[in-house]
Amino acid sequence: MTKRIARASVLVILVAFANAIADERIPIIFDTDFVMPPWDDSMALMLALQSPEFEIVGVTTVAGNESVERATSDVLRMLEIAGQAGIPVYVGADMPLVHEKSDFAVREYGNWYSNEPPPEPPGGFAQKRAESQSAVSFIVDAVMARPGELTIVAIGPLTNIAQAIRAEPEFAESVKQLVIMGGAIAALPDGAGNVTPNAEFNFWVDPEAARVTLRSGIPVELSPLNVSRKSALTRDWYEKMVAVKNPLTDLLRETLGKRFEIEPERSWFMYDQIAVASIIDPTLVTSERLYVDVDINHGISYGTSVGGREPWPGAEAAEQMNVQYELDWPRFIDMFIERIQRPLP
Ligand SMILES: [Ca+2]
């Protein structure tokens, strides 16, 4: 009896302790055009999953790198591999708001318009299924249930976020923070685009959604190509990353490893991973407060983000936000590797 009471008290203390930790965690919604490694969204999710600073309230998918069906199928499998299949997944937009498939879109990187069934992810399709609630409905409900508390990490086209903003008038003022991987800012170093000369992929896929989102008044931390270009994932770093064996490094060996087998001397940028890391440790990046807006005219600058220190004619609706442009690469990659190598739950 005494033993049982003692055990019960220990349990009570443990639960209280767990709750105390839970209260300290940063609740996030992870919105992603997810694809398995070597693509960046999956490595960004690995970092988030392996970081006790976060409470991942849900993962929402969107068309971008690939179709939304592929994003959903791959993320469900990733959560199983990471031992966190309990995190709910919600299916989001399968097309941008306005942008239509063009010959240029087909030639360039990205497969957001695809209607092909998703290929089998490493290890086979997940047992786990997506929730029946839509991503937009979930995002709105989750934010409105905890006003001022949730951070949204948006690392794909901003289609779901723009729809959530439009769906609920009080949504924008109820989001604590929105961390976006997207855009390229010519006013800062390394600000060229990666799809068109000046437009970055996520913003270019859904420029209208990017504009609605940036103009919404949600406090934004922007992680554009300027800061991505300060990263350099080489074969040496990759080998350090996979030196410890766990299901995540096994997956990286199987996927990211192929890149370095084919092109051992090449280095790769990291994008979404930096956006996630900057929430855990804001001192990893240097930012400047800029007014940022997105061009939605169907001309040569479609999808281009423009940032300025002062508002300029035509940018009267632009909001000020933190724009990352410099990265402490050695500290970032050390942190990334250390987290990926931690034991899985
Ligand atoms: Ca992405």
DSSP secondary structure letters along 5-56: HHHHHHHHHHHHHHHHHHHHSEEEEEEE----TTSHHHHHHHHHHT-TTEEE
Ligand 1 centroid–CA 15 distance in Å is 36
Average pLDDT over residues 222-235: 98
pLDDT digits (tens, 9 = 90+) for 151-176: 999 999 999 999 999 999 999 999 99
Phi and psi dihedrals of 144, rounded to 5? -70, -20
Packing angle of the helix pair 329-340, 272-280 (nearest 10 deg): 90
Ligand 1 centroid–CA 65 distance in Å is 7
Is a pLDDT exceeding 80 seen at residue 7?
Answer: no
Ligand 1 centroid–CA 3 distance in Å is 52
Look over the chain and give the mean of its residue pLDDT values, rounded to a whole number.
95
Is a pLDDT exceeding 90 seen at residue 15?
Answer: no
- CA dist list (Å): 333 to 140, 240, 261, 271, 337: 34, 10, 21, 12, 6
Ligand 1 centroid–CA 32 distance in Å is 6
pLDDT digits (tens, 9 = 90+) for 66-103: 999 999 999 999 999 999 999 999 999 999 999 999 99
Determine which of 9-13, 47-51, 90-94, 326-330 has the lowest per-residue pLDDT on average.
9-13
pTM to 2 decimal places: 0.93
Ligand 1 centroid–CA 277 distance in Å is 14
Is a pLDDT exceeding 60 seen at residue 181?
Answer: yes
pLDDT band at 24 (very low <50, low <70, confident <90, very high): confident
Ligand 1 centroid–CA 161 distance in Å is 14
Residue 269 in 3-state DSSP? coil
Instruction: For residue 12, give both structure tokens.
Output: 């009570």
Average pLDDT over residues 145-155: 98
Question: Which amino acid is residue 148, in one-letter code?
Answer: G
pLDDT at residue 1 in the model: 45
* H or E element that contains 237: helix 235-241
* H or E element that contains 262: helix 247-262
pLDDT band at 310 (very low <50, low <70, confident <90, very high): very high
pLDDT at residue 8 in the model: 57
Ligand 1 centroid–CA 166 distance in Å is 22
Dihedral sign, Cα of residue 63, residue 67, residue 71, residue 72: positive
Ligand 1 centroid–CA 154 distance in Å is 8
pLDDT at residue 226 in the model: 98
Ligand 1 centroid–CA 10 distance in Å is 43
What distance in Å separates the CA atoms of residue 83 and residue 246, rounded to the nearest whole number?
A: 11
Q: Do the Cβ atoms of 106 and 150 come closer than 8 Å?
A: no
Ligand 1 centroid–CA 276 distance in Å is 11
Which residues are paired to 289 by β-bridges?
322
Where are any strands of DSSP class E within the chain? 26-32, 54-61, 89-91, 151-154, 177-181, 220-223, 285-294, 305-308, 319-327
Ligand 1 centroid–CA 205 distance in Å is 11
Q: Reduced to 3 DSSP states, what percent helix, strand and coil does the chain have, rounded to the nearest 5?
A: 40, 15, 45
What distance in Å separates the CA atoms of residue 87 and residue 126, rounded to the nearest whole number?
A: 13
Q: What percent of the chain has pLDDT over 90?
A: 93
Is a pLDDT exceeding 60 seen at residue 2?
Answer: no
Closest CA to 41 of 151, 181, 171, 138: 181
What distance in Å separates the CA atoms of residue 223 and residue 41, rounded to the nearest whole number?
A: 14
Longest Cα–Cα distance of the chain, Å, equals: 78
Strand order in the sheet with 151-154: 89-91, 54-61, 26-32, 151-154, 177-181, 220-223, 319-327, 285-294, 305-308
pLDDT at residue 43 in the model: 98
Closest CA to 222 of 82, 147, 320, 90: 320
Ligand 1 centroid–CA 159 distance in Å is 13
Give the DSSP letter of residue 243: T
Instruction: For residue 294, give both structure tokens.
Output: 């997105």
Ligand 1 centroid–CA 271 distance in Å is 8
Instruction: Please list, in sequence order, all residues whose beta carbon lies within 8 angstroms of the beta carbon of residue 258, skipping any fewer than 6 positions away.
Output: 38
pLDDT digits (tens, 9 = 90+) for 44-73: 999 999 999 999 999 999 999 999 999 999
Q: Do the Cβ atoms of 210 and 294 come closer than 8 Å?
A: yes
pLDDT digits (tens, 9 = 90+) for 184-225: 999 999 999 999 999 999 999 999 999 999 999 999 999 999
pLDDT at residue 248 in the model: 98
pLDDT at residue 200 in the model: 98
Closest CA to 198 of 291, 305, 321: 305
Average pLDDT over residues 104-123: 95
